[in-house]
Structure 1
Amino acid sequence: MKKVYPIGEFAKKTGQTIRTLHYYDEIGILKPSHVSSSGRRFYSEDEIITLQKIVALKFLGFSLEEIKRFMQEEKWDLKESLAFQKRLLLQKREHIDRIIKAVTHAQHLAEEQEKMDPNIFSLLINSIQMENQQKEWLKQFMPDETVEKLFDISEEKQLEYAKKLLGIFEKLKECYGKDPGDSAVQSLMGELFSIAKDMEKEVFGEYLSLFHLKEDEFAEEPMLFPSPFSKEEEEWVAKAVEIFLEKEGVDLSEKES
């Protein structure tokens, strides 16, 4: 005669909660071997083996609905299911890696400033979240290998550029309302384009950098390339950029054509 265990003892023996066992019974993936007239559930060694299968499939990331289907089959054809599950897990790992990267960047920036403008914070997080989509969009304008190189710079360099750029964005917001040709504003423009040149030299080599793409091309993809500025601030920054480029001797009519 098989030994049976009351649900409480079975739960303790298998490391499951009574609530979980009730739910498994309810959805039909693990039924007790016997239910008394008073409604008490009892489990045998056979249910331990069944539970081991459920735990193994859960560990691999299968849903309870998928597990229920497997439990109804005498033989398991796992080849296709495992391949699909692996793809899902790799996607989840990539997602978690991006979250860790975003948190790490935010932590580094928070160490230097206690409070951060919400628009700038969103820009930082979105730029990491939308990285794959940004790659595909940029490949319309640049060779694939150039785009991949852009996103392949070291974590240390990414943080360095992020700190500098976001710091300039913060200062520009503080300067908003001043004359775009003000020396402080133009000094920030100089810092901004200096960083752009450094990035261009390190990442793009002889190829044109992102700063040579037209502004309206970015504006058409607001979710991919969110702006840290309001509409009014963007217009003000655009004027400051125009003044800076004129001082640098850039032919704006040629740039726009």
Structure 2
Amino acid sequence: MYTIGKLSKKTGVTVRTLDYYDEIGLLKPQSATEGGHRLYGEEEVMRLEQILALKYLGFSLEKIQSVLHESAHTWEEALSEQLLIVKDQKKRLDELEQSLSAVLYSIRIEDEVHWPLIFGAMRLFQQDKEEITRVLDRYLDPAQQEKMLSVDLDEKKKQEWTTLILEIRDHLHVSPDSDIAQQLADRWLEGAYNMFDGDEEFLGNAWEAITEESDGIMFYPMTREVVTFITEAIQAKEAKENEDNENSH
């Protein structure tokens, strides 16, 4: 038999918590000494272990109290229900992680807390995935959509892209055929090419999506101004290459 102090040491559960479990009827002692000290047997130890396991799995004390008295079939139902709750919580945490990353990214790009942009990013990540898919369906097939949505850049790559976009934004005023515009466009193309393993068909479709949706938040920080800059720089480069080819003949 275990006194409440010994049970606390054995299980790591505080005496205060065991007192509370006794008070609400979740874990009652098996008996008591003549002096009124509560005693717990192996059955109570097992019940406490069940309580701790269910708490770890996210069950409330109220739910634990009802589940412990039920059959295995009801346990299965309760665990299945809890699994759905955990999945829903995980989805919300994933959305929160994406929103926090977007906020940090926007601050790095804008060099300030841009609340309309932050709100737009949060709204985007809170959207049902089907809503995002409906937009992407106009440009990408399912495999290409999966490829785009599964991109997960490490911190170094994120910093490289942030630096590049900032440089482009700092040079929006320069001529598309200038050396700096050409260099920035080349760096963007090289980065995109490497990110998606040189899949030119995908890159073409993705660029169409980015161009058409650049007024929104979906492809931030590829804003209309940044997209126009890159497009005009590429066009200027192609025009110069065509001119050089004609002159060489």
Alpha-carbon separation, structure 2, partners of 1:218 and 1:37: 79
* 2:221 pairs with 1:227: yes
Query: Unpaired runs of 5+ in structure 2?
Result: 240-249
Question: Counterparts in 2 of 1:95-244, with a 5 A limit?
Answer: 118-120=107-109, 130=125, 133=129, 136=133, 139-141=136-138, 142-151=140-149, 158-159=153-154, 162=158, 164-173=160-169, 175-176=170-171, 178-179=173-174, 181=176, 183-199=179-195, 202-203=198-199, 205=201, 208-213=204-209, 215=211, 217-220=213-216, 222=217, 224-227=218-221, 234=223, 236-244=225-233
RMSD of aligned residue pairs (Cα, Å):
4.8
Query: What SS class does the counterpart of residue 204 from structure 2 fall into?
Result: coil
What SS class does the counterpart of residue 213 from structure 2 fall into? Answer: helix
Distance verdict in 2 for CA 1:41–1:245, change over 3 Å: farther
Write out per-residue CA displacement over residues 143-163 of structure 1, whole angstroms, 9 at most, x where no aligned residue.
Answer: 11222234557x6xx448645
Measure how far apart 1:165 and its partner are: 2.4
Residue 27 of structure 2 aligns to a residue whose secondary structure is: coil
**Contact map agreement 1:180 1:236 (CA 8 A) in 2:** no
Q: Is the 8 A contact 2:175 2:181 kept in 1?
A: yes
Q: Which moved more, 1:238-247 or 1:132-141?
A: 132-141
Q: Which amino acid aligns with 1:31?
A: K
Any idea what SS the aligned residue of 1:213 has?
helix
Partner residue of 2:242?
Answer: none
CA distance in 1, matches of 2:84, 2:50: 22
Distance 1:180 1:23, change over 3 A: farther
What residue in structure 2 maps to residue 109 of structure 1?
Answer: none
- TM-score, with length taken from structure 2: 0.61
User: 2-side partners of 1:199 and 1:168: how far apart?
Assistant: 14
Q: Which has the higher contact order (CA 8 A, sep 6+)?
A: 1
Structure 2 counterpart of 1:82, which letter?
L
1:26 Cα deviation after fit? 4.3
Distance 2:37 2:135 in 1: 61
Structure 1: where are the runs of 5+ without partners?
106-115, 229-233, 251-257
- For residues 203 and 165 of structure 1, the distance between their equivalents in structure 2, rounded to whole angstroms, comes to 19
Deviations 1:90-129 (CA, angstroms, capped at 9, x unpaired): 667788899999xxx9xxxxxxxxxx88334999xx89x9
- Kept in 2, the 8 Å contact 1:54–1:67? The answer is yes
Q: Is the contact between residue 150 and residue 203 of structure 1 (CA under 8 Å) also seen in structure 2? A: no
Q: 5 Å matches for 1:20-169?
A: 20-33=17-30, 42-45=38-41, 46-73=43-70, 77-89=74-86, 118-120=107-109, 130=125, 133=129, 136=133, 139-141=136-138, 142-151=140-149, 158-159=153-154, 162=158, 164-169=160-165
Q: Distance in 2 between matches of 1:147 and 1:57?
A: 39
- What's the counterpart of residue 19 of structure 1? 16
Matched residues in 1 for 2:210 and 2:51: separation?
55
User: How many pairs are equivalent?
Assistant: 221
CA change 1:59–1:183 in 2 (3 A) is: same
* Displacement of 1:200: 5.6
Identity %: 22
